Amino acid sequence: MLLAVLLPSCGLWSKSKYDNPDTIVVARDGTGEFRNIAEAIEVCRAFMDYHKVIFVKNGTYKEKLILPQWLQNVEICGESAEKTVITYDDHANILWPETGKPMGTFRTYTLKIEGSSVTLKNLTVENNAARLGQAVALFTEGDRLQFINCRFLGNQDTVYTGTAHSRLYFKDCYICGTTDFIFGPAAAWFEGCTIESLANSYITAASTPQDQPFGYVFNHCRLIAAEGVTKVYLGRPWRDYGYTLFMNCELGSHIRPEGWHHWEQHREQTARYMEYGNTGAGADTSKRVSWSRQLPQKDAQKITTEAVFSLSDSWMPSWK
């Protein structure tokens, strides 16, 4: 284990047969180079200047994974979104072995991405803990992250977009949960995604910093609900200045007429909550809270991936 920690700084990777752009295959049935995804991550060289694919065959991988900060240009690609499943079951009220105290939200992740320029494609990331507290499936810290045709399954706090000024792109993904199941400070664009509410609660809990011009943008997404779910808010601001926009989306009848919740009364003064061009039974804006905004067309046309992602450089998702 010590050797693995030291390798990125020792220059020993030049001798590794995996120091190349070839694909690594992971398979639970033993037909790949590794049986576990963690083993494949371990052999990737630090700060790679080439694109490295970890191809994961269908199977259930019970692993609690970290893609460390020194990994970049990595793509983890599943054989199929429904049958390639990364799963774990920690929740916030499990006792943390090191302290004997509850684990808390931010240690519960199934997959934590600390590195940048990482792509996930065609797989499921799941936290299948019982509904006993917050339970994160995906925890992101890196910048320039892409999630293509993935499924993120959980209950409370399914997806944590955890670093201000980082940029995330979700395309054709399915995300489900109960309370605040998409939350955090990152700038994240959701294109063509299906968002399913499993309980009467809140979909988003943005904590966008004041100096960050964009937070969550949902474009051409479909909002659905499990049977019996009829009273769901589009979001509530976890911190002052939370930013969330739904545009060109199909909103189901489970969306509450008022649309948004302030969480704390004073956040009505700073929350940046907007809608434009939505359709469906939940899209009627006549009873929306007065402090949300319906964008005029000229303003909506300015909300593009180029605008949202030009926070620090000209990066654009390669899957756009």
Positions marked active-site: 157, 180
Which one, of 307, 179, 165, 193, lies nearest residue 250 by Cα? Answer: 193
**Dihedral (CA of 18, 22, 26, 30) sign:** negative
Residues 6+ apart with CB under 8 A from 16: 43, 45
The rounded distance, in Å, linking the Cα atoms of 81 and 237 is 31
The rounded distance, in Å, linking the Cα atoms of 8 and 180 is 37
Residue 90: CB atoms within 10 Å: 19
**Dihedral (CA of 88, 92, 94, 97) sign:** positive
